[in-house]
A and B are shown apart, each in its own frame.
Chain A
C-alpha cells in the first residue's frame, strides 16, 4: 500500500505533498509536519554517512518500522522524493527515479510556468504522477 509522498527541494521546502492512504492523521499542522519530516531526514542522512563503516555512495535508501516503510531518493541536485509505503513493499528505488526523470523533470523543470523553489501547482504534473502511482500493483493492497 502507498501512503503518501513528499517532494522536498534543496533548501528543504516541501514543494509537493500528496496523500493516497493515510489511516492515521498527523496531530500537527501540515507545515510543521513538513519541517519535522525534513529535519528528521536531514539528521538520518548525516547520521548514516558518519556512522557508516564503509565509504558512503548513496547513503539513505529507506527505513522501516513495524507500520510503514519510508523510501528515500535524492538527486544530485538535492531534490528529495520521499514515499511512504507499507513495510511489505520491496525495493522501489527505480520507481522514485522514474518519478524524478519522467514526471518531475518533464512537467516541472520543462514547464516554464513552474517557478523553481515554489509549490508545484501544475495540474498536468499531478495528473501524470497520480496516474503512475495508482497504476502500481501495490497501490491499494
Chain B
C-alpha cells in the first residue's frame, strides 16, 4: 500500500514510458470501497472510515516525500515546505498544482484545489457532496505524512463546503 500514488508517478518520471493514471484512480476507488465495507456500521462509522483511509494516506505520503525530496535543497522555513507540497508534491501525486494557498501566519494553511483529481469525475455540482468526504481522506493523509517526514507535526482536514470538484485542505501545525 505504501507505494500507490507516488510510485506510479515517480516511475513515469524516471522513464518516459506511460503508466495509466486510471490504475491509481481505480485502486483508490476500491480502497475507499473496501474500507467502507469492512468497517462495522455504527455511530462512528464515518469517522472510522476517514481515519483508516487517512492512515493509509499517511504512510503513502511519508514514503512519497522520501523519494521526491532526494534532490531538493534544504527548506528555509515552514512556508517553504508548504509551497513545496503545493507545487512538486501535489503535481507528483495528483497531476496539478494547488490553485490557492492561504495562511494566517500562525500555523494554519488552507490549500485549495479547484479541480481535485479524485472528484473530477464525480460531479461538478452539489450532487454526491455528502458521499464524497471519504474520497478526500487519503489525500489528507498524504499531506500529513509528507509533513511528518519533514519534521512537522500537523492535522490535515478536508473541507468540501462548496461545489464538488474543488476541495479545501486545512493544514494545522501542532
Residues of A within 8 A of B (CB): 106-107, 110-113, 121-124, 127
Residues of B within 8 A of A (CB): 22, 25-26, 29, 32-33, 121-125, 127-128, 131-132, 135
A to B CB contacts below 8 Å, 10 in the list: A110-B22, A110-B121, A111-B121, A111-B122, A112-B29, A112-B33, A112-B122, A123-B123, A124-B121, A127-B124
Interface centre among A110, A111, A112 (most CB of B within 10 A): A112
CA distance A124 to B128 in the complex (A): 10
Contact B132 A124 (CB under 8 A): no
Q: How far is the CB of A57 from chain B (nearest CB, A)?
A: 27
CA distance A110 to B29 in the complex (A): 8
Interface centre among A111, A122, A124 (most CB of B within 10 A): A124
Which chain A residue has the least Cβ–Cβ distance from B29?
A112
Contact A112 B127 (CB under 8 A): no
Contact A124 B127 (CB under 8 A): yes
Contact B132 A113 (CB under 8 A): yes
Q: How far is the CB of A123 from chain B (nearest CB, A)?
A: 5
Contact B125 A123 (CB under 8 A): yes
Chain B residues within 8 Å of A107, by CB: 121
CA distance A121 to B127 in the complex (A): 9
Q: How far is the CB of A136 from chain B (nearest CB, A)?
A: 22
